[in-house]
Amino acid sequence: MTEIDTKTDALVSDWLTLPDVAERLEVEVTRVRQLVKEGQLIAVRRGENRVLMVPAVFIGDGRVTKGLAGTLTLLRDDGFTDEEMLEWLFTPDPTLPGTPAQALSENRGTEVKRRAQALAV
């Protein structure tokens, strides 16, 4: 297990494999891979088998969490790696309150995006 894996595991407790994501979204796994490729969803390789996995909080009510794709685009434009994006999304922020990922899942995406934009300054 790498240092990044350990750090990510400390922040993200619940993960889904791509087939699990496909089942929850009621789409084919190839569509989930496309969402990852397009940057609308983030997946990282985890575990001994280095399986691609997605944080479970990003999938709810049969769809990708509203505002996630836009936030990922902003972070990517700021030069964040996938691991850095996960760290930012899952690090508690007392001013939000909670984590940016939690705020997105609670439909508070506008504030999360505003903070992501402020990182570029």
Q: What angle do CA 42, 45, 48 make, to 5 degrees?
A: 155
Q: Say if residue 2's pLDDT is above 80.
A: no
- Please report the pLDDT score of residue 30 as a whole number: 97
Residue pLDDT, tens place only, 76-91: 999 999 989 999 999 9
- Mean confidence (pLDDT) of the chain: 90
Task: Give the contacts of 42 (CB within 8 A, at least 6 positions apart).
Answer: 36, 54, 55, 58, 68, 72, 82, 85, 86
SS3 at position 70: helix
- Please report the pLDDT score of residue 13 as a whole number: 87
Distance CA 14, CA 31 (A): 21
- Alpha-helical runs (H) found in 1-121: 3-11, 18-25, 29-37, 68-77, 82-90, 100-105, 109-119
- Please report the pLDDT score of residue 25 as a whole number: 97
Provide mean pLDDT across the span 54-72: 94
- Please report the pLDDT score of residue 67 as a whole number: 95
Residue 47's pLDDT band, with cuts at 50, 70 and 90, is confident
Q: Say if residue 10's pLDDT is above 90.
A: no
Q: What is the CA radius of gyration of the chain?
A: 14
- Please report the pLDDT score of residue 6 as a whole number: 72
